[in-house]
Amino acid sequence: MKTPERETEKGNRDVAEDRLLELCGSVETVVYHNDKNQYTVLEMNAGNENVTVVGAFPFVSVGEELHVYGKWSSHPSFGDQFKAEAFERSRPATTAAMLKYLSSGAVKGIGPATARRIIETFGGKALEIIENEPERLAQIKGITREKALEINTELKRVYGIRELMAFLGAYGVRPEEAVLVWKQFGEGSVGCIQEDPYCLCGDGLDISFSIADSIAESMEKPRNDDGRVQAGVLYVLRHNLNNGHTCLPADKLCQAAQRLLGVELSDVQDALLLLCEHYQTVCVNFDGRDFIFLKKQYQSEEYISRRMQGMLQMPPQSICGAENMIADVERTQGIAYAEKQRDAIRAALDKGILILTGGPGTGKTTTLNAIIRILKEMGERVFLAAPTGRAAKRMSELTGEEAKTIHRMLQVDWDEQDNPVFTRNERNPLECDCLVIDELSMVDSYVFESVLRALPISCRLILVGDSDQLPSVGAGNVLGDLVASGLFPTVQLKEIFRQSMASLIVMNAHQIVEGKMPDLSRRDSDFFFMP
């Protein structure tokens, strides 16, 4: 066994920091393993001693032989560790290692007792027989022919994952990414990739296009291959989702894809036509210009449009006597609402949909508190939500009511590709009469679609935000688009209230929105400029 020495002299340490060391040995114990990110802590027998190794090790089992490449580090609580950056594995070579491996539960259907009987019967050829002559396992007590075939299938599955990791690892794909590929394509993963390397760039995988290109080049596929060009167009659209764009103008899309692919513009245009024909993309004409959506983004935006317009046509029942209710709140709370604030409260009670916008210090929370108070006095169940934990906590503090993150309210779960799936939807709607969402500028199209799908029929919807803030990280500009449509009752609060004028942050925020220079001269407030 080849074991790197722990450097004790400073000169040796400096050299070691510049190169990866190699550690070889068999896995003795898997101390910890995280299925989500594959982070693993294991003990490895590296010759004369057991060594703690940490890193990403998908599907590692006791008894396996590993070649690990990395560097030594010192953990404040756990001492010296070998931090792995890459690794290779081989099948257990000795009968003792095979017994450990099979006893560890690495192959479903084989426990410690069965493992011992297999090794006693077949010795060092045990794994070879399980893989190539599984029917011979039936001669062992307790193993039927059906169980033998199940064990064979399971071993092939385990080694199939490893074959995939080795195949993709040669092109720079990380082990955790290879696991996602396996989850999507299963035992036929390598075959799928060899047939179409660009399947790696699809939804839920998002492996770099350059890696898929490298695999395709090694198979000598032509650069203008239809599959490659179509995959390039889809890749540009997906890449731009990360920049917040739900769609792209067709001409810009084609130019960007041509630069990425290095092919003729006509090749890209032909590929786009085929993608639209097969409904992988959707072309919509706005003001004489074609825009291209990915199918999922188009469906999301179309659903939002239809559902919001449906809510206008079938609003919840109006609450009469709004003026008297506003006067009661003013009297009990010692507040005099500005006219715009009164307009917002009336719209929420009468129309059932309200978009309430305004910069800092303009009284959005004061207005919202009045709406919540009146609705609760009328016996309505009011839910409050915000896109982030911090925003939900602040909402709770300012309103005195419980507020949840949108994901928690919709009871998020995760599918096999670690994509969010909401259990609250059309079949399992929210149990509320009014939903208030704060910080709507941070909500993307997919999340807002999910909110609308979980919204009960005739539920009030109050959307609060500042349209001058940056849009959401995810694709879409929900608040800005709803306001720009002019279809929905919208109240924009502009007046800065006296108590907020003491904040230079508030004053400068409004200066910037109006295109004016902020005041950088003061040092006695909550905003100051430091060169």
Q: Give per-residue pLDDT as tens, 352-372.
A: 899 999 877 778 888 999 999
Q: Is the pTM of this model over 0.85?
A: no
Provide the pairing of β-strand 281-286 with 289-294: antiparallel
pLDDT for 2: 40
Which of these CATH numbers, 3.40.50.300, 3.40.50.10490, 1.10.3470.10, 3.40.30.10, describes 314-500?
A: 3.40.50.300
Residues counted in the chain:
531
pLDDT at 340 over 50: yes
Cα distance between residue 394 and residue 185, in whole Å:
44
Higher pLDDT, 140 or 470: 140
Mean pLDDT value across residues 48-74: 85
Comparing 156-170, 190-204, 472-486, the range with the smallest average pLDDT is: 156-170
What percentage of the chain carries pLDDT values higher than 90?
42
Let me know: does 309 contact 267? Beta carbons within 8 Å: no
Q: What is the DSSP letter of 5?
A: P
By three-state DSSP, how is residue 358 classified? Answer: strand
DSSP codes joined into one string, 172-192: T--HHHHHHHHHHHGGGHHHH
Q: What is the pLDDT of residues 398-419, one digit of tens each?
A: 999 999 999 999 998 876 666 7
What percentage of the chain carries pLDDT values higher than 70?
94
Domain positions in the chain are 10-90, 196-296, 314-500
HSE (side-chain half, CA atoms, 13 Å) at 149: 2
pLDDT for 290: 96
pLDDT for 309: 92
By three-state DSSP, how is residue 493 classified? Answer: strand
pLDDT for 296: 93
pLDDT at 174 over 90: no
Cα distance between residue 68 and residue 73, in whole Å:
14
DSSP codes joined into one string, 380-406: --EEEEESSHHHHHHHHHHHSS-EEEH
Q: What is the pLDDT of residues 230-283, one digit of tens each?
A: 999 999 999 998 888 999 999 999 999 999 999 999 999 999 999 999 999 999
Residues β-bridged to residue 42: 30, 53
pLDDT at 510 over 80: no
Higher pLDDT, 525 or 247: 247
By three-state DSSP, how is residue 517 classified? Answer: coil
Q: pLDDT tier at 17 (50, 70, 90 boundaries)?
A: very low
Class of domain 10-90: mainly beta
C-alpha pair distances (Å), 20 with each of 3, 71, 86, 175: 13, 6, 9, 18
Give the neighbor-by-neighbor strand order of the sheet with 281-286: 247-249, 289-294, 281-286
pLDDT at 37 over 70: yes
pLDDT at 501 over 70: no
Residues β-bridged to residue 65: 26, 90
By three-state DSSP, how is residue 74 classified? Answer: strand
pLDDT for 499: 52
pLDDT for 502: 61
Query: Which CATH architecture describes the domain 196-296?
Result: Orthogonal Bundle (1.10)
Cα distance between residue 151 and residue 134, in whole Å:
8
**Quick check: do 10-90 and 314-500 share a fold?**
no
Cα distance between residue 479 and residue 468, in whole Å:
10
Closest to 300 in 3D by CA, of 312, 289, 310, 308: 308
pLDDT for 374: 93
Let me know: does 384 contact 395? Beta carbons within 8 Å: yes
Let me know: does 513 contact 468? Beta carbons within 8 Å: yes
